[in-house]
A and B are shown apart, each in its own frame.
Chain A
Amino acid sequence: MMEGLKIKRVSKTLNGIRIVDDVTATFLPGRITALIGPNGAGKTTLFHLITGELKADSGEIVYKGDDISKLKPYIIARRGVGRLFQDVRVFDNLTVFDNVASACFDQEVESPWYPFVKCSHLKRKIREIKDVIYSYLNFVGLSDMDNIYAGALSYGQQKLLAIARLLAGGYSLLLLDEPTAGLNPVMIKKVLEILERIVEEDKGKTIILVEHNMSAVTEVADWVYFMNEGKIAFFGRTDHVLGDKEVREIYLGM
């Protein structure tokens, strides 16, 4: 049974402010669900709670049947939860190639003894992932910059790199915090296309999209959660939510 991500009555208070307030939501695999709402609504904090950067004060976060709300961030990542950060967070002092490569090895390969006890495996693995890395770099149009330090790229390029790194990680749940912000229209189109392709090709994958770009949301998301002041204010089909009077007043300014 495909269970996806279930958030059950999760709350979080930071500095006396209830940033996430009794949120219950389900994100099903095989589809892109958007999470929209005004700045400060708690969307990014909800992402922090899912990835374990913050711990919920109460409630459960269940992914593939397990409560992950008490786990450490790196363990949650190993369970298949990957994230695109709002502030990109590429590794500035690594090359473009190494940035993507850093997502390709599991903990066994990254152990210090692996190159000594499994030398030939490692060589083969590095050969294999090279093609994978270049296919993702090609996809985002950065393959001819493979040797440049990521810190030297423009913001838009860093975002593309972060997307390539995330895709290379092979995660089953993708949390995307404003993936199209700062990209040009051609790249936006490409990124949205790959998101649709991901869920089409693998029905086990779940994508949650935080976005302020409503045309992107209508294009790829079938379902939308609207968040306001820490609460889920509205959930439904994209056209229903975006057509709602309250949503239009609070968020879209119409």
Chain B
Amino acid sequence: MNYILHLLIMIGIYLVLSYGLNLVVGFGGLLSLCYAVFYGIGAYASTLLMVKVGISFIPAVLLGIVIAAIFAFLIGVPALRFRGDSFVLVTLGIQMIVFTILYNWVDLTRGPYGIPGIPRPVVAGYEITSLYEYLILVGVILLFSLSVLFILYNAPFGLALKALRDDEMAAEGLGKSPVHMFLYAFVISAVFASTAGSLYAAYVTYIDPTSFTLDESIFLLAILLVGGAGNRIGPFVGTVFMILLPEALRFLGLPDTVAPNVRQMIYGLTLIVLMFLRPQGLAGEYRVK
């Protein structure tokens, strides 16, 4: 039962991430490889604020959001001058730089030693300790995040982003500013990544930089490519599929000596086959290029 609750909590956290990233990748059509940066900034910012400054969970999450949004703005301004392959490479570079800083700025982040003993979240004077309580906390934040994001998806804002994605020159000819719209999307998506990061840190009570690597950014992008980007159902399908598939493969009854490797290979093979059969993702209508 605890195992299922744990999976549900992780799915909830990853739903916040994938629906946030959807704004940039699905609506904006920008393949970002640095989303884990904002996930990490949220986790570290709220953790350090709780551990070193001693403020409580909710203000720490909110301040973490502000800090992540500022970073997203500072990163987005230069990165969003690029499109296509160049944008992918620029975000890859940003991901590497931020990881290196998290890993080596030992005075601030404790680097590879990580930060253990993160206090459990206290919400309105009530300390959250059991898995059930965590699941409710994640669920509430997920619902709030989705209601905000779905309004944006359906608003003229979402439509303008999709227009810019499909044909930037034509959309700009209709008066849409690519720089402003993409920057809004980039910063808003970072807000949700940061929220998810704070939740993650408070849930596992230990963070180190290896949770926020390039691998993590690729995994988040893969969720959208597998599930389908640019709509409301794709991120859900992708998140559930990508988190549950490796878990399901545990029950194949493979011999222990080769099991982890074979599981990884089946996982990889499934993704390849999927891209052959559904290049737009399981529930996608738009093919990310």
Residues on A lying within 8 angstroms of B by beta carbon are 51, 53, 72-74, 77-78, 82-83, 85, 89-94, 98, 101-103, 105-107, 109-112, 114-116, 122, 149, 165, 169
Interface residues of B (CB under 8 A from A): 148, 151-152, 154-157, 159-160, 162-163, 165-167, 169-178, 181, 184, 188, 230, 285-286
CA distance A93 to B175 in the complex (A): 19
Pairwise interchain contact B181-A110, C-beta atoms closer than 8 A: yes
Contacts A106-B175, A110-B181; A93 near B156 (Cβ below 8 A): no
Given contacts A83-B173, A102-B159, A105-B159, 8 further A-B contacts (CB under 8 A): A77-B173, A82-B174, A91-B167, A92-B167, A93-B162, A93-B286, A102-B162, A115-B154
CA distance A190 to B169 in the complex (A): 27
Return chain B residues, CB-CB under 8 Å to A53. 169
Q: How far is the CA of A165 from the CA of B167 in the complex (A)?
A: 14
A81 and B255 alpha carbons, distance in the complex (Å): 68
Is B171 a contact partner of A91 (Cβ separation < 8 A)? Answer: yes
Q: State A165–B173 Cα separation when bound (angstroms).
A: 11
> Which of these, B155, B166, B167, contacts A114 with CB under 8 Å?
B155
Give Cα A115 to B171, complex, Å.
Answer: 21
- B-side binding surface: helix, strand, loop or mixed? helix
Give Cα A103 to B170, complex, Å.
10
A77 and B174 contacting across the interface, CB-CB below 8 Å: yes
Which residues does chain B contribute within 8 Å of A89, judged by CB atoms?
A: 167, 169-170
Residues of A within 8 A of B160 (CB): 102, 105, 110
- Known contacts A98-B159, A105-B160: A92-B166 contact under CB 8 Å: yes
A78 and B172 CA atoms in complex are apart in Å by: 10
- The interface residues of chain A lying within 8 Å CB-to-CB of B156 are 101, 105, 109-110, 114-115, 122
In the complex, what residues of A have CB within 8 A of residue B171's CB? 91, 102
Complex CA gap A77/B160 in Å reads 14
Are B166 and A103 touching (Cβ within 8 A)?
A: no
Chain B residue at minimal CB-CB distance from A79: B175
